[in-house]
Structure 1
Amino acid sequence: MDKFWAQLIEAQPDPDPWVVVVSALVALAIVTFTVPWQLTRGLITIAHEGGHAVMALLTRRKLEGIRLHSDTSGVTLTRGRPTGPGMVLTALAGYLAPSLLGLAAAWLTDQGHITLLIWGMLLFLVCMLLLIRNLYGALILLASGGAVFALSMYAPGEVQQIVAFLVVWFLLFGGVRPILELQRKRRRRQARDSDADQLARLTLLPGGFYVFFFLLVAGASVVGGAYLMNPLA
């Protein structure tokens, strides 16, 4: 265990500047173009629903399970008071989770803790798997977790570093697009039960305020992550 812990917290050397730049461009292309986004958006949904689940536990709501669907949507089932701070914070956490996870991951990469980041992702996926309540969601989490485990066990350190930066940029950029998609759906009145509209019903603030808040946090996370991973710093 001592050897494993030492390996876990060991800091890797700083990456070559091209690793940071190329991984950012690839992640931006994945999020921008329709086909790769549709294929990978489910990973953002995992982070989104994980945010709901973590906040539900922190606010002492009863967490009944998570469902991930093939259309990249998801739902986190909780039980407790239908109003109050716990419900508000739980609803608020979903759209913020990918961006804040990306910012935390950016800090870990800035510190050189690539191995710790990869094992942290694996632990997150395992915890999600314990909470999943449908077959498709279980398959997605098993596939994702298997890929992360294989990366941690068999990939060289340089490959782990490249993948880690790609994942961080994907979380940061991928945290922005669902918010923009949410606002487009709200303008067309196609998202009456979205997190923003649920928050509007729980509080005195309009749904548009929460969309703006989501976007503000996501944008600040991108800026903060870029500052932390700046190859020229």
Structure 2
Amino acid sequence: MTPLNLHELTAIQPPPPLWLIVLSGCAALALVAYGPAWHATRGLITIAHEGGHALAAVLTRRRLSGIRLHSDTSGVTLTRGRPTGPGMIVTAAAGYVAPSLIGLGAAWLLAAGHVTLLLWAVLALLACMLLMIRNFFGAVALLVVGGAIFALSWFAPPEVRAACAHAGVWFLLLGGVRPILELRSKRRRGRTPDSDPDQLARLTRVPAGLWVVFFLFVSVAALAAGGYMLIGGHLIELTAR
């Protein structure tokens, strides 16, 4: 394979055929819906979740102390600053919606034909996270994921890059919904007293259940909008024929 030409970074790539976009979405849905596959891939959603906390902390000028990713697909982001106030609220609220919002932004880039730019943007975000990782497993996880994306962007043909990028974006959009549904189920059994919505309830006096509904609304809306971005152009063409 010929290594990636750096001039291709901002090049616009024609979209793959509709059947390939749909097939990549079905593959992502299978990973999210099938229990063993979800358990093996859920860590990717955790990376996006903790990355959302970290980015929100930086944007609200909280001090980011570190990020930990665990083998049970859980994670924690440590920040310093006022224990209350808008910065803490935004930081706590960013985690569960981050995978869906990242997926939405990635869908926008794919719809514009910027496949390679998307892959390198993800690499840049992973590199920033790696600087703040504070445990061995988390570092290995980010290096493995980053290495796979680098190899894909540098050596794979454009068609393969496009197919894998679409599958990854579908996975973020679909995978962003399932943890919220799991959280809702666990909360009903009283198993998550320190979850993000429970912390937000203590910070804002808005019931934790309403925060869960808010997270679910954002994730489903992102899935609908992102899905339309990925296949909308093809559907318009088919309708016009």
Q: 2:198 corresponds to which residue? A: 197
| Superposition map of 1:35-184 within 5 A | 35-184=36-185
Any gaps of 5 or more consecutive residues in structure 1?
Answer: none
Moved over 3 A (4+): 3-6
What is the match of residue 20 of structure 1?
21
Aligned to 1:219: 220
How has the CA–CA distance of structure 1 residues 154 and 5 changed in structure 2, closer, same or farther, with 3 Å as cutoff? closer
Unaligned 5+ segments in structure 2 are 237-241
- In structure 2, C-alpha distance between the alignment counterparts of 1:135 and 1:6, rounded to whole Å: 35
Q: CA deviation at 1:6?
A: 3.7
For the residue of structure 2 that corresponds to 1:63, the secondary structure is: strand
The letter for the 1-side match of 2:105 is: A
**Structure 2: distance between partners of 1:4 and 1:160:** 14
Q: Which amino acid aligns with 1:16?
A: P
1:207 matched to 2:239? The reply is no
| TM-score (norm. length: structure 2) | 0.94
Aligned residues: 231
Aligned equivalents of 1:6, 1:97: Cα separation in 2: 30
Which residue of 1 is the match for residue 239 of structure 2?
none
Q: Which amino acid aligns with 1:117?
A: L
Q: Deviations over 1:98-124 (max 9, x none)?
A: 000000000001000000001011111
Is the partner of 2:9 in helix, strand or coil? helix
Q: Give TM-score scaled by structure 1 length.
A: 0.97
CA RMSD of aligned residues (A): 1.1
Could you tell me the percent identity over the aligned residues?
A: 61
Partner of residue 9, structure 2: 8
In 2, distance between residues paired with 1:146 and 1:26? Answer: 22
Aligned-residue offset at 1:193:
0.3
How many Å apart are 1:4 and its aligned residue?
Answer: 6.2
